[in-house]
Structure 1
Amino acid sequence: MKPVSRSLFNSVTAHIVLLSGAFVIAFPFLWMVQASLRSSGEIFGAVADPITPIQALSDNYGRALFETPLLRFMVNGIIVCGGILFFQILTTVTCAFALAKYEFRGARFMFALVLVMLAVPAQVPALPIFLTLAEFGLLDSYFAMMLPYLTSAFAILLFRQFIKSFPDDILAAARLDGMTEIEIVARVVLPAMLPAIAAFGVFSVSFHWNDLYWPMIVIRS
């Protein structure tokens, strides 16, 4: 096989594999859109009562938007997931910077604690956190939903590995210019970490948006 033909064959094969994977991933979303334009009988095949897409759009989406508090549920999800992500970045970036760039007594022990936290499931601290929230009357609130997740051991580990590769000469130059450590983190390190923060944000938002265990415990209304 000639080099050009071989390269074309590899390119076509790669595109076929990628398009096949994209179809598998996109198919559930396409099915959801199609199902939203049908009656419930059509979706499950129990009743053959086809309706026009315009009628389905009016009935299904109208019922979802105006007869149920769907928009309120989505706003709740945005507030909780956005608040969790904000506090996770605020706490984990500073902690990761300290573990990556400072030499102090107990640094290795603290990093070991971070690794141990990765192995602790969310169900372990659930009871003491619940009792504490109940004692202070904080159940059934946004704060109650966010409290167990205000920091993340996974984010600390991810950001620490990223910050360790950050040049020390840039940090030294920033200190010579009179920057404080907080300014260095906020104005020098944080902008360079945007790709790592974006990657972690995808994991954080998708996990907490789909989380059901903790909200079912602390939310009553």
Structure 2
Amino acid sequence: MPSLPPPATFSAADSPWIDVRSGDQYDQVGLRTLFLDAHRIDDLALPHPPAASALLRVAVAITARITGLDDPELTASRWNALRRRCLVQGRFDPDAVHAYFDQHGWDVFDLVRPWLQDPSLRTQCPHSTGINVFVPGRPAGNNLAWFSPHSHHTAEPVPTADALQILLIHHYYGRCGKGTPRTLGSCPLWGSVRWMV
């Protein structure tokens, strides 16, 4: 019997997926390198502005964790003093960056806790909405193909680096209203009340 291929892995922390610009050089980095080299990076170069905006929101939360600015015990004056100290350093402490990224799971394809995803959707949704709904510029459903030659029946996979940027867009600026219906049976109210944030 042939052995199964190893499961796919892609670390949001270490695999390159974030487009950045330093001077006239463009590169792709992971989250860890984004923070380790933040003092050398001039700007994000993501192709979709909503993805750049969403990534900045994620980066703010990670920055607070790495620097200790998320400590609820800090008074306003101590918080401001810590913030000023961080700004004067001009870069993130590499040990703090490594400690943060080493302690959390960042695998996009993890079976139990995939990064920024809910693995229970696979069992709670009766069918998939399809990849074309997910990708900006692709027609979905009965829409015309203005920007790309894709259709619902000829959906092409998206490279993981691009899919992560698109995932950020959907987390912060996703379709309002109802997406794919899901059935939640573990709590009595989950079947009747649903909030989209």
TM-score, length basis structure 1: 0.26
- Tell me: higher relative CO, structure 1 or 2? Use CA pairs within 8 A at least 6 residues apart: 1
Between structure 1 and structure 2, the one with the greater Rg is: 1
TM-score, length basis structure 2: 0.28
More helix by share: 1
